[in-house]
Amino acid sequence: MKAETNVKTRAGKSAASFEAAAETPRAANVFAVPQFEMPKFEMPKFEMSNLMPGFGSPNLEVPAALRDWAEKGVAQTKDAYQRMKSVADESAEIVENTYTTAAKGTAEYGLRLIENARANTNSAFDFARDLMSVKSLSEAVEVSTAHARQQFETLTAQAREMTSLAQKVASETIEPVKAGATKAFKLS
């Protein structure tokens, strides 16, 4: 225990002496890090008139024909840019409309499929219930035949309905593309 107290006392003395040394001006210079500053240079200035007498700033004048040609080129470029920008905007709108229409049509088609599946499942459960309540083999054949006939008619109607819905979705989806293509070919 005495050894521990001795070590703590020496550690406390050395820390205190270090702090005292750090507070003295001489010690501050030892531990201070000098600030680095970038040397400042000025860029030399060259003037042609000083280097070569008679050669001052060049006085360049563009001929009128070249200036007109350049202005026409700039105007044509601006016009072409505006046309391309409007075509790109129209194309983006067509694609957006196409995807929106396709998404709505696909959702409607999916909902119709779910409704058909629900109706067919209910019909199958009804058939199973009716089949469980039969008393004879002839009655079972009669129930089975009636159910098969009804299901055939139902499935035929559902297939017809789904086909017309798919055609409607396809035509509505392709319509904006056709209109955009027709418009693009009329412009060119």
Rounded mean pLDDT of 55-65?
Answer: 67
Residue 56: predicted pLDDT:
53
Segment 172-180 long-range contacts (CB within 8 Å, at least 24 positions apart): 172/101, 172/105, 173/98, 173/101, 173/102, 173/105, 174/98, 175/101, 176/94, 176/97, 176/98, 176/101, 177/94, 177/98, 179/94, 180/90, 180/91, 180/94
> Per-residue pLDDT tens for 156-166?
999 999 999 99
Q: Are residues 114 and 161 in the same domain?
A: yes
Q: Are residues 76 and 159 in the same domain?
A: yes
Q: Are residues 102 and 69 in the same domain?
A: yes
Whether residue 116 is predicted with pLDDT greater than 60 in this model: the reply is: yes
Q: What is the Cα–Cα distance from 155 to 118, expressed in whole angstroms?
A: 13
Residue 58 belongs to a domain: no
Residue 64: predicted pLDDT:
82
Pick the more confident residue, 146 or 37: 146
Residue 32: predicted pLDDT:
62
**Nearest residue to 153 (alpha-carbon basis) of 120, 125, 113:** 120
Whether residue 91 is predicted with pLDDT greater than 80 in this model: the reply is: yes
How many domains are contained in the chain? Answer: 2
The range of the structural domain enclosing residue 167 comes to: 64-187
CB atoms within 10 A of CB 161: 13
pTM, two decimals, is 0.53
Among residues 11, 27, 51, which one ends one of the domains?
51
Q: Are residues 109 and 153 in the same domain?
A: yes
User: What confidence tier does 34 reach under pLDDT thresholds 50, 70, 90?
Assistant: low
Residue 133 belongs to a domain: yes
Residue 86: predicted pLDDT:
87
Residue 113: predicted pLDDT:
95
Rounded mean pLDDT of 81-104?
Answer: 88
- 161 within 8 A of 112, measured Cβ to Cβ: yes
Q: Are residues 121 and 43 in the same domain?
A: no
CA 149 to chain centre: 52
Rounded mean pLDDT of 42-52?
Answer: 63
Torsion of CA 74, 76, 80, 85, to 10 degrees: 50
Rounded mean pLDDT of 135-150?
Answer: 94
Rounded mean pLDDT of 126-153?
Answer: 94
Residue 83 belongs to a domain: yes
Q: Which amino acid is at 67?
A: R
In total, the chain counts a number of residues equal to 188
Residue 7: predicted pLDDT:
46
Residue 57 belongs to a domain: no
Q: Are residues 128 and 179 in the same domain?
A: yes
Q: Are residues 40 and 70 in the same domain?
A: no
